[in-house]
Each structure stands twice: as structure tokens, then as C-alpha cells.
Amino acid sequence: MILYPPAKINLGLHILAKRPDGYHEIETIMAETPLCDILEITEAASDSFVQTGIQVPSDGKPNLCQRAVNLLREHKVFPNLQIHLRKQIPVGAGLGGGSADASYMLSGVNSLFDLGYSNTELAQFAAQLGSDCPFFIVGGLQLAKGRGELLTRLEPLGNTVYLVLCNPQIHVSTAAAYAGVQPENGRSSILDQFQTEGINGLQNDFERSVFQAFPLIQDLKNALYNAGATYAAMSGSGSSVFGIFEAEPILTADLSRQCIYKGPWHY
């Protein structure tokens, strides 16, 4: 079985409050993109995991794909697996690549061995692996609330645009990014803004503090606007930045060097 876990972008992101459990209450609109990893799952005599492409820094723990398998094995018995993950989504870049890999692993094993879990049940497993993971069980365009696990599927707007996704290869600590934000509640909901003003009415609350700490990320956003983007924003806590264009843009040499995806996109 070969699967293609996609990157996501946050069209906008509001940080509303600090929660008693240490997480933050957020609301965001997440959208699937065409940029993807490649995940191959094969029944085998013994378990094995190989990762190629962009290297994932080791944190001393099993890869999220392996953690997903271990989580399912706490509830079901199924054969050993040979797993090959080809990383093409930059790591720690606000694109949810690791979360996508874990969720596609859950869905893939569920399908491969007819485990019988519904998408709702898979999303509950995914939430144990990471806040962004449940989004990738269904993907598409979704409103996320809570710490990101409370999801509502949104109907696509039917827009066809050009998406340019850039990564400046700067690591932004998610914890530091949250520490730099003053939560703000009482605003219009992000969904209301999206439905009344469109994508141009959205904002990412992380941008102010992250741009202060890393001016090159703000420069990248400005460069996308200078190239003709109708909307540009940082995804998640960064450092990736995306631009939406009405037609295929001509990118400067600097933008081209940082571009990790350019092509048609539907949302």
C-alpha cells in the first residue's frame, strides 16, 4: 500500500486563551495542500522502519508512524509491517508533515487489515499522537477548535488559484512562539471572518512575535505580496509561508530558492 500524506496550511489562526492543561485554546482554518510525503506499508515477516528524503531529527523516540502502529496494537492484533517513509515535507515548519504521516499510518493499517475503525474512532486515536493529527483523517478544508482536535468539515469554496509554498529553513520553537503571543478572546470567530470577508479577512496571531524574532520570515511574506499574491501568511507557528495567486506567478530567484511547492490549488 502506498499513501501520500499531505502538508496542511493554516489559512488563519486565532489564539484565544491559555488552558488549565497547559495547551492553548485556538481556532484555525486548516487546508490540505498538494505537497506530500510518500508512505509505503507492506506486510512483512518482522517489523522494520526506513526513512529517506529529508532527515527527521531524532528525539530518542520512535517515529510518529511507528507510534501510530504501536497505538493500534494496544487494541488490535495484525501482522508485522515493513514501513518506508519518504519525507518531502520540511520538518518543524508549520506544515503538519509528521502529523499527516501518523494519521495516514492509522488509516492505512485500518484499511490494509480491515480493522473496522470509523473515521471518528481513527481521529480519537490520532488525537493521542498530536493536536494536528485528527485533521488528516479526513483532510480537505476544516475548522479546528479546542487545541486543534475539535474539527468541523467545511465545504470547499470552489476557488482555483495558484499556491506558492516557501520554507526559509528557519526553525521556530512552537513553545517559544506560543510564549510570545498574548491570547485574545472576544473577537469575531475565524469562521465568521472567513465566510463574510473571505481569506483576506484572516490573520495568524503567531506572526507578530515570530516576525519580531525572525525578520527574514516577514521578508518572505512581503516578497510573496511583491510577486503579486492576493493573500500571504505564515502557516501555524512557522516558519513556512504561503502565497495565493490568481494566476501562475513569476518568482524572483530568491523566492524560487525557498519555494517547496508551486502549482494549482483548489479550496
Q: Is 47 a catalytic residue?
A: no
Q: Is 8 a catalytic residue?
A: yes
Please tell me the distance from the alpha carbon of residue 207 to that of residue 238, in angstroms, as a whole number: 8
3-class DSSP assignment, residue 206: coil
Sign of the alpha-carbon dihedral angle for 28, 33, 39, 40: positive
Cβ pair 105, 69 in contact under 8 A: yes
Of 8, 87, 145, 221, which one is the catalytic site residue? 8
In eight-state DSSP terms, residue 114 is T
Please give the single-letter amino acid code of residue 109.
V
Task: Give which of 98, 107, 153 is closest to 131, Cα–Cα.
Answer: 98
Task: Give which of 83, 99, 78 is closest to 8, Cα–Cα.
Answer: 99
Which residue bears the cell 510518500?
Answer: 38
* Sequence-ordered strand ranges (E) for the chain: 2-3, 6-18, 24-36, 38-43, 48-53, 81-87, 141-146, 150-153, 160-166, 231-234, 241-245, 259-266
Of 37, 87, 101, 132, which one is the catalytic site residue? 132
The residues annotated as belonging to the active site are: 8, 132
